[in-house]
Amino acid sequence: MACRAEFGPSQPFKGARISGSLHMTIQTAVLIETLTALGAEVRWCSCNIFSTQDHAAAAIARDATLLIHEGVKAEEEFERSGKVPDPDSTDNPEFKIVLTIIRDGLKTDARKYRKMKERLVGVSEETTTGVKRLYQMQESGTLLFPAINVNDSVTKSKFDNLYGCRHSLPDGLMRATDVMIAGKVAVVCGYGDVGKGCAAALKQAGARVIVTEIDPICALQALMEGIQILTLEDVVSDADIFVTTTGNKDIIMVDHMRKMKNNAIVCNIGHFDNEIDMNGLETYPGVKRITIKPQTDRWVFPETNTGIIVLAEGRLMNLGCATGHPSFVMSCSFTNQVIAQLELWKEKATGKYEKKVYVLPKHLDEKVAALHLGKLGARLTKLTKAQSEYISIPVDGPYKPAAYRY
């Protein structure tokens, strides 16, 4: 609302066409409405088949914003062959239509997407995994547009990733299973900002938390919080709850799941469903899937007749089994998105942004935080001129160097 109040009257996005791919939740609906209120024409696509909230989608569709309700990705086939998959290669009728539209468009104009690239002003990306892809493209010389890394804004990663997951992980666990967390042994795979939030939530709920980690710095941070660092192989037979938070693939494999205790809970809050080996689980000989309720399945192994409980089919459990992060913390992330898009659009003709990945400057990161303080009743202390000169920091900021670690 603060963004709309400040920027709305000047209509800074007039003439801009913005396309988004993000979970279609009520929080995203407010982001879409904000972009529209600032003058943009908006199209949106949900990025997860389980996270769309129908009431949010319906509300946005009523406002004549084009909405693609579900999306399915052809990334693996494209990566393997460099071609769009044949529409007949899938039984999914929606996917078949999408592939047909793409292929027909290329038949009409083989340069369709190159032309689209030429008019792209830029991209803002707020997920850890998405940002990794952008940096990989930058390194390989295949990045075709300027990109702003919203994920590494302090007001995104230290709030959405950490405090958001601290709230929504236990919410999803309890809605899906009604399990008592206290007294359980919980394994968190990864101790980045998402892992830190998850470990804190489980620990506060009374679980005995163990972390698996590849990074010695993150591992040392966990140890300083009283959390044990072990490998998954060390604890796979003893833990009650497993949470993946890494953004990587092949974290929990089917051989791990076979060794878990009966009714161990397995879930992902990192990114794609390949953090957990769902393909290996689904194709395991003789395995039986029992749906307890939507997004909560018990998988029974034939040799032991014991099973594990997998949430949201290995996809993001906080969105599949609950409603994701609360609105206030998502407001921090989405304000970053609005400001990043404003920055790209404002500077589109200046050459300020090349085909590289950028992070929002510190003064804009601080602005996002400042816009949210009033709602929490905060009153900031103001530097005097003498204090400002003494520590060589401007009275109005930025208050920290770019490399400062919060």
Digit-coded pLDDT (tens) for 286-300: 999 999 999 999 999
> Is the predicted pLDDT of residue 387 greater than 60, yes or no?
yes
> What CA–CA distance (Å, rounded) separates 166 from 369?
19
pLDDT of residue 68: 44
**Binding residue per annotation — 86?**
no
**Binding residue per annotation — 42?**
no
**Binding residue per annotation — 304?**
no
**Binding residue per annotation — 325?**
yes
From the centroid of its chain, how far is CA 402?
A: 23
**Binding residue per annotation — 197?**
yes
From the centroid of its chain, how far is CA 29?
A: 16
Indicate the pLDDT class of residue 24, thresholds 50, 70 and 90.
confident
For residue range 321-379, list pLDDT tens digits in order: 999 999 898 899 889 999 999 999 999 889 999 999 999 889 999 999 999 999 899 99
Which parts of 47-122 are beta strand (E)?
66-68
Three-class secondary structure of residue 18 per DSSP: strand
> Strand pairing of 147-149 and 123-125?
parallel
> Exposed, middle or buried: residue 235 (CB in 10 Å: 0-12, 13-18, 19+)?
middle
> What CA–CA distance (Å, rounded) separates 205 from 90?
43
Tokens of 244: 């993946």
**Binding residue per annotation — 96?**
no
**Binding residue per annotation — 196?**
yes
In whole angstroms, how large is the CA radius of gyration of the chain? 23
Mean pLDDT along residues 202-223: 98
Mean pLDDT along residues 385-396: 97
For residue range 117-140, list pLDDT tens digits in order: 778 899 999 888 889 999 999 999
pLDDT of residue 67: 47
Q: For the stretch 347-378, what's the b/e string if a residue is b when 16 or more beta carbons lie within 10 angstroms of its beta carbon?
A: eeeeeebeeebbbbebebbbbbbebbeeeeee
pLDDT of residue 71: 36
Backbone dihedral region for residue 126 (phi beyond 0: left; psi -120 to 50: alpha; all else: beta)? alpha
**Binding residue per annotation — 352?**
no
From the centroid of its chain, how far is CA 234?
A: 29
**Binding residue per annotation — 307?**
no
**Binding residue per annotation — 318?**
yes
18 touches 35 (CB < 8 A) = yes
Q: Which amino acid is at 195?
A: G
The H or E element that residue 318 is part of is helix 317-320
> What CA–CA distance (Å, rounded) separates 368 from 371?
5
To the nearest whole percent, how much of the chain has pLDDT over 70? 93
**Binding residue per annotation — 192?**
yes
Q: Helix 193-204 vs helix 165-177: angle between axes, to the nearest 10 degrees? A: 60
The residue length of the chain stands at 406
> Exposed, middle or buried: residue 188 (CB in 10 Å: 0-12, 13-18, 19+)?
buried
Tokens of 141: 């010389």
For residue range 62-109, list pLDDT tens digits in order: 654 444 443 334 545 555 555 677 788 777 676 788 788 888 877 888
**Terminal C-alpha separation, the chain:** 26
Average pLDDT, the chain: 89
**Cβ neighbour number for residue 178 with a 10 Å cutoff:** 7
**Binding residue per annotation — 338?**
no
207 touches 185 (CB < 8 A) = yes
> What CA–CA distance (Å, rounded) separates 86 from 97?
11
Q: Helix and strand tally (H, E) in the chain?
A: 18, 14
**Binding residue per annotation — 194?**
yes
> Is the predicted pLDDT of residue 40 greater than 50, yes or no?
yes
Tokens of 57: 């989608």
